[in-house]
Structure 1
Amino acid sequence: MINQPGTRDLLTEARQVLLDSVAAELTGERKYQALMAANAMGMAIRELEQREQGEPAQTDRTVRAFLAERSLGDTAGESEAALAQAIRERRLDGADPALRSVLRTLTEARLRINNPGFLKR
């Protein structure tokens, strides 16, 4: 079989070229747009890495377990949507430490993709 670069490798290389060659020669609005594109590519790379490590599945299991413990179920198959619906309908107590833990888990998972530097502060 021919050794083919993976999606993450392709995105990483393209992002580096964009940052090192293209964005370096731009100014103003065009530079901002190139940096935004590079940022989006970085987010996609981190999301792929999380998938490879099975993190979204683990986070989903955490939410599903929380919902099951409270007999809220997950009929739609979308655990986060079911959790959001239960919160909107005030079927959950905002002071519940377990709810806060689940919400923190979800937030940290998003931050590891969108803004990993924030978690380091």
Structure 2
Amino acid sequence: MINQPETRDLLTEARQVLLDSVAPELTGERKYQALMVANAMGMAIRELEQREQGQPEQTDRTVRAFLAERSLKATAGEAEAALARAVRERHLDGADPAVRSVLRNLTEARLRINNPGYLKR
């Protein structure tokens, strides 16, 4: 069997080349654009890693269980949207500590992908 690189590995290598070889040669707007692309690639890598660990599914199950405890339904993959709808339609109280905890956990899950450095502060 041929050893094929994983998507994560390809993205990681391409991002490193962009940061180490391409971006230093650029200035101004072009450098900014290259750094934005590198940042987006980093987010994609972290999202792939989260998927490999089953994090999105676990988060979805946790939110669905939370909603079920409150007699609210959500289908697999739709838990965040159902939670948002329940808060928006005032089926859940945003001041409720349990609701705030779920929202905080969802926010932290997003930050682990989009801006992990923020969580370290």
TM value normalised by structure 1:
0.97
Kindly, what percent of the aligned residue pairs are identical? 88
- Residue 18 of structure 1 aligns with which residue? 18
Post-superposition Cα deviations, 1:32-90, rounded to whole Å, max 9, x if no partner, equal 00000000000000000000011111111110011000001115851111111111101
1:1-121 to 2 correspondence within 5 Å?
A: 1-74=1-74, 78-121=78-121
Give the number of equivalent residue pairs.
121
Assess if the C-alpha contact under 8 Å between 1:8 and 1:48 holds in 2. Answer: yes
Assess if the C-alpha contact under 8 Å between 1:18 and 1:34 holds in 2. Answer: yes
Offset of residue 98 of structure 1: 1.1
TM value normalised by structure 2:
0.97
Query: Kindly tell me: are residues 5 and 75 of structure 1, through their superposed partners in 2, closer, same or farther at Cα, counting changes over 3 Å?
Result: closer
Deviation beyond 3 Å, 4+ runs, structure 1: none
| RMSD between aligned residues | 1.1
Higher relative contact order (CA 8 A, sep 6+): 1
Say which SS state the counterpart of residue 92 (structure 2) adopts. Answer: coil
